């Protein structure tokens, strides 16, 4: 495969698989198994599959410091992010409002990536981010107008915590830049997320996570493991390593349009003209931002770059 095609394929894979998580979450909420338990089993199964893969392809001894660092990253980007979103939805925060709050993540990442990582965003890039945020806002307003939820005031801090968690985890992932191969990185991060959701499920249920037995629960776990865990987070880690925090965060703006295609095909859900217009604006703004990232500044030492050099 030509090196010039690697980055676009990683970006495309990330957007498609990351979007699949919203569909998987929809399937999970309709299952008989409690959502936290279902996600605990989902991450455990994904962890074991990747661990088996890692054992077969390499199995070399991992540095303890690298393992600890990747566990911290996984606890934030997988465990903390999804836990905040799920708990907010369970408390009655509407999907639209949750999406609005989590859409702040690319702006927060772009603001912090400069001083932390030297990934400077030009004025045109900030304009693209602002346009993309406006597009997301239009889409979310359309969603709110067609529904809504009721929740205690404190529950609205949960998706905001998700934004902070995934942004901090993304920055630490690039800042630390461990030498662990992708399979090992994904394995450790998935085990960390398993611990987060197992603990949460035990606190809520007062015991071990409920075992999924109904057909819909098993289908939802299969969807979440293959597309969202292995695909979504696999491409997420690869994108952070090759494209950087700002570019990866900009790609998040493209997920609503792909999610629309998933939802239309599987559930027959279609947004109004305002929602479609919002998506179009978000895509245009994201494209402007992604073509404006300047990573010429100082970057942390990343051992993986010696094996996979960046290409323009």
Residue 307: its pLDDT value, please? 33
Angle at 193 between CA 250 and CA 38, to 5 degrees: 105
- Of all residues in the chain, what percent are helix, strand and coil, respectively (each to 5)? 80, 0, 20
Rounded Cα gap, residues 142 and 148, in angstroms = 11
Q: pLDDT-based confidence at 72, cuts 50/70/90?
A: very high
Residue 294 has pLDDT above 70, yes or no: no
DSSP state of 158: H
The overall pTM is greater than 0.85: no
Nearby residues of 216 by Cβ (< 8 Å), 6 or more positions away? 27, 30, 31, 32
Q: Which long-range contacts (CB under 8 A, 24 or more apart) does 105-108 make?
A: 105/163, 105/166, 105/167, 105/249, 105/252, 106/132, 106/133, 106/249, 106/250, 106/252, 106/253, 106/289, 107/133, 108/163, 108/164, 108/167
Q: How does residue 79 score in pLDDT terms, banded at 50, 70 and 90?
A: very high
CA 78 to CA 73: how far, in whole Å? 8
Residue 46 has pLDDT above 90, yes or no: yes
pLDDT band at 298 (very low <50, low <70, confident <90, very high): very low
* Average pLDDT of the segment spanning 240-245: 84
Query: Buried b vs exposed e over 221-258: b needs ≥16 C-beta within 10 Å?
Result: bebbbbbbbbbbbbbbbbbbbbbbbbbbbbbbbbbbbb
pLDDT of residue 154: 85
Q: Torsion angle of alpha carbons 220, 222, 226, 228, nearest 10°?
A: 20
Q: What pLDDT score does 117 carry?
A: 64
**What pLDDT score does 226 carry?**
92
Give me the helices (H) in 91-156, please.
95-102, 105-117, 123-145
| E strands in the chain | 120-121, 293-294
Among candidate residues 26, 161, 162, the one with its CA nearest the CA of residue 82: 162
What confidence tier does 147 reach under pLDDT thresholds 50, 70, 90?
low
Per-residue pLDDT at 18: 85
Q: Please say whether the beta carbons of 35 and 29 come within 8 A.
A: yes
What was the pLDDT predicted at 235?
92
- Residue 124 vs residue 116, higher pLDDT: 124
Q: pLDDT, tens digit, for every residue of 172-219?
A: 888 887 778 888 899 999 999 999 999 999 998 888 899 999 999 999
Place of tokens 């566990």: 71
**For residues 155 and 119, which has the higher predicted lDDT (pLDDT)?**
155
Beta bridge partners of 294: 120
């Amino acid at each position: 495969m030509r090196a010039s095609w690697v980055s676009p394929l990683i970006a495309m894979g990330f957007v498609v698989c990351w979007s699949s998580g919203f569909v998987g979450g929809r399937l999970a909420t309709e299952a008989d198994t409690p959502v936290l338990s279902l996600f605990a089993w989902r991450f455990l199964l994904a962890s074991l599959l990747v661990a088996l893969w890692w054992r077969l392809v390499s199995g070399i001894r991992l540095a303890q410091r690298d393992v600890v660092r990747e566990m911290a990253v996984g606890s934030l980007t997988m465990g903390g992010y999804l836990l905040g979103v799920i708990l907010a939805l369970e408390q009655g925060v509407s999907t639209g409002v949750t999406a609005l709050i989590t859409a702040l993540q690319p702006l927060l990442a772009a603001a912090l990536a400069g001083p932390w990582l030297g990934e400077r965003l030009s004025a045109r890039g900030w304009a693209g981010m602002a346009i993309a945020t406006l597009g997301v806002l239009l889409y979310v307003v359309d969603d709110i107008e067609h529904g809504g939820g009721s929740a205690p005031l404190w529950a609205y801090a949960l998706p905001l915590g998700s934004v902070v968690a995934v942004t901090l985890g993304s920055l630490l992932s690039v800042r630390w830049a461990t030498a662990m191969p992708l399979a090992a990185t994904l394995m450790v991060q998935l085990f960390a997320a398993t611990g987060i959701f197992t603990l949460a499920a035990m606190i809520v249920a007062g015991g071990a996570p409920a075992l999924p037995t109904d057909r819909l629960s098993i289908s939802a776990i299969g969807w979440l493991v293959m597309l969202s865990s292995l695909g979504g987070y696999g491409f997420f880690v690869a994108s952070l390593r090759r494209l950087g925090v700002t570019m990866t965060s900009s790609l998040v703006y493209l997920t609503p349009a792909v999610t629309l295609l998933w939802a239309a095909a599987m559930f027959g859900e279609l947004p109004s003209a305002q929602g479609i217009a919002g998506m179009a604006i978000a895509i245009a703004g994201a494209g402007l931002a992604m073509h404006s990232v300047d990573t010429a500044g100082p970057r942390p030492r990343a051992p993986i770059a010696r094996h996979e050099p960046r290409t323009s």
